[in-house]
Chains A and B, each alone.
Chain A
Amino acid sequence: MAHVRLNGLSKSYGKVDVIKDVSLDIEDGEFVVLIGPSGCGKSTLLRMIAGLESISAGTLEIGGAAMNDVPPRDRGISMVFQSYALYPHMSSADNMSFSLRLAGEEEAQRRSKVDRAADILGLGPYLDRLPRQLSGGQRQRVAMGRAIVRKPEVFLFDEPLSNLDAKLRVKMRAELKELHQKLRTTTIYVTHDQVEAMTLADRIVVLRDGEIEQIGTPLELYDNPANAFVGAFLGSPTMNLLELEVGAGEATLARFADGEALRLATPAAPGRTTVGIRPEAFTIASEAAAGRISAEVVVVEPTGAATELLVRKGGQAITVLTPERLAVRPGDTVWLTPDAQRTRVFAGGAADAA
């Protein structure tokens, strides 16, 4: 096990900078998720850590040793690929023990290590099968087994669940978390799925255009996004980004076009401003009262556990999520009480949101 230290890492292809001066400290045993929209460089960054891409500038340390020019095999890492990359001509057992075979380990020792990994992953009955005889989830597990068997210092995952169907993805996600709790190996995990990021990570690193937007625990990022981009990227349904007007002399009130106001947690500068508020930060009422704002219902989406409402307010769409089962219909008027403590003012505006 080891900590991983990225110090001003950069990567450029010719004149195009894909990764720009990324610094990040990953503690021993930590589960860090790199997340961002496609093309943000998260996979490239992971491949630089793996040694599959060269590093243009900056230093990479794993377990205190500089790794910039060390070949992948000597970095003490294991990687699980999005495509699994199982050797098609080898059985599951051979796939998992290939690295041990290359390292010259004894047959008996290899066997026992593979058996132990197969035990953890429930792969026992499939050890003699070829990859093409396995289902997607089983292949995924063999790929993880191959990574575990080497007892690496660091696990690298490159969107490992994105090829699975929705149900299996949720199941494997839980297994992955359990696995990490069992093994406590430093893990760097790339995904574009914010639910995966929220559920798996000790800390999330949000990347955009090759730069870090924000680092923090899932809830820190959820509650206190540094900018509209992070706010909109994490959470489903996504955070409401409202374009409101803050008048002179009333710095904690942001007004809609129709004049009704939203109370802010922090004072904002006068003028047009972007206010972020989570869909679940509203309570819904059917009558007007002080502090409530009116809105027209556009769409009602009951999901069983909750109801998602799309409402229109002063020309802007607002998503509202409530655990209640509502008897409202499109065209009805509802009154919302926004939780002032959960509003965020984004000085950068919403233009740069995802």
Chain B
Amino acid sequence: MTHATDTHTALTAPRRRRFTASERQVSVIRHLVLMSFALVVLFPFFWIVSAAFKTQIDLLMGKVLFTPNLDGFLDVIFDKTSDFARNFANSMVIGLISTFLVLVIATLAAFSLYRLQWPAWVLHSLLGWSVIFHMVPPITLAGAWFTMFRSVGLDNSYTGIILAHTTLHLPMALWMMGVFVRDVPKELVEAAQIDGAKVPQILWHVVLPIVRPGLAATGILTFIFSWNEFPVVLVLSQRQTATVPLGIGKYAQENTIAFTEMAAASTLSILPAFLLLLFAQRFIVRGLTSGAVK
């Protein structure tokens, strides 16, 4: 036994030392590159968050060292003229409901398209069409939607915006869920068929539990897209239904730009996505299917 451990350490120990000078250089360079990428990504965040804690004067004077204060946040949240709390609630309602609808439709569609033996042309034309739809800039649709919704009384309503967001984000969700559904081995569906499951039961008992990480990933992305969406809500909503991006935009007015409030509102708007990712990270791990086949 001791002999075995000896050879084991003897085998692994020199491997540690085998890094050559050039390998170490490569590793250092790699880390520098990664760090510079991280800087590019994180610096704007840092800038916005620090701006949120400055006074307007500090900010405009470009002070790097400053005494942090919460005035920006207090104004955004508690000022009587601020709609931000309302915007936040609107974004939540619209984001959650449209994400739910998108997930339901995309999952059903993906399961049907990939597992219920449609002729190839049905599959391809639907997927192709959804790609084209996804590539159309949303703003080109917004005008038409405004007219449509107006004529049926859905302008400036949650229903209208939720429908719009559901439509906008469905193609992406369909493609994502398609990948996850296709990853569910065909034999599992067949085994369930033989075990006596009908299509809805196959979906509920077999496919859904397996694609749960996929649902989480797709759901988070869809929610964040809806949360950030600007041009369509700009057209479809007024004060009562305005969402967070519109709320932030409103701090830039004709005569003044309320930079600190804007930064504070932006900082607050990051929170939901941040929390979502923090909590749901563990769902976005693949490999649940390991052990199913083979």
Contact = CB atoms under 8 A, between A and B. Distances in A.
Q: Do A and B come from one complex?
A: yes
A219 interface: no
Given A73-B196, A146-B195, A85 B289 contact: no
Contacts of B191: 79, 81, 85-87, 146
A102 interface: yes
Contacts of A102: 195-197, 201, 205
Contact of A103 (B193, B196, B209, B294): B196
A81 B190 contact: yes
B70 to A, nearest CB: 47
Chain A residues touching B, range: 20 to 34
Contacts of B294: 83-84, 163
Interface stretch (A9-17, A131-139, A251-259, A267-275): A131-139
Given A81-B187, A85-B190, A88-B210, A73 B195 contact: yes
Interface string B249-291: 0000000000000000000000000000000000000001111
A55 to B, nearest CB: 15
Contact of A134 (B210, B289, B291): B291
B205 A83 contact: no
Interface in A47-73: 50-52, 71-73
Contacts of B10: none
Contact of A132 (B193, B209, B290): B290
Contacts of A340: none
A77 B194 contact: yes
Contacts of B185: 83, 85
B268 to A, nearest CB: 38
Contacts, number: 88
B293 interface: yes
A259 B135 CA distance: 80
B292 interface: yes
A85 B293 contact: yes
A89 interface: yes
A72 B193 CA distance: 6
Given A131-B291, A131-B292, A163-B294, A87 B196 contact: no
Contacts of A98: 192, 195, 197, 205
Given A50-B194, A73-B197, A85 B291 contact: no
Contact of A86 (B190, B193, B198, B292): B292
Interface string A119-161: 0000000000011111000010000001000100000000000
B193 A52 contact: yes
Contacts of A77: 194
Nearest to B193: A72
B187 A88 contact: no
Given A102-B195, A102-B201, A88 B288 contact: yes
Interface string B219-248: 000000000000000000000000000000
A78 interface: yes
Contacts of A71: 193
B188 interface: yes
Contacts of B108: none
Nearest to B205: A98
B188 A85 contact: yes
18 contacts: A50-B194, A52-B190, A52-B194, A77-B194, A79-B191, A79-B194, A83-B292, A83-B294, A84-B292, A85-B188, A87-B205, A87-B209, A88-B289, A98-B205, A99-B194, A102-B196, A132-B290, A163-B294
Interface of B: 185, 187-188, 190-198, 201, 205-206, 209-210, 288-294
The 8 closest A-B pairs by CB, nearest first: A132-B291, A83-B293, A85-B187, A99-B195, A88-B292, A73-B196, A131-B291, A85-B191
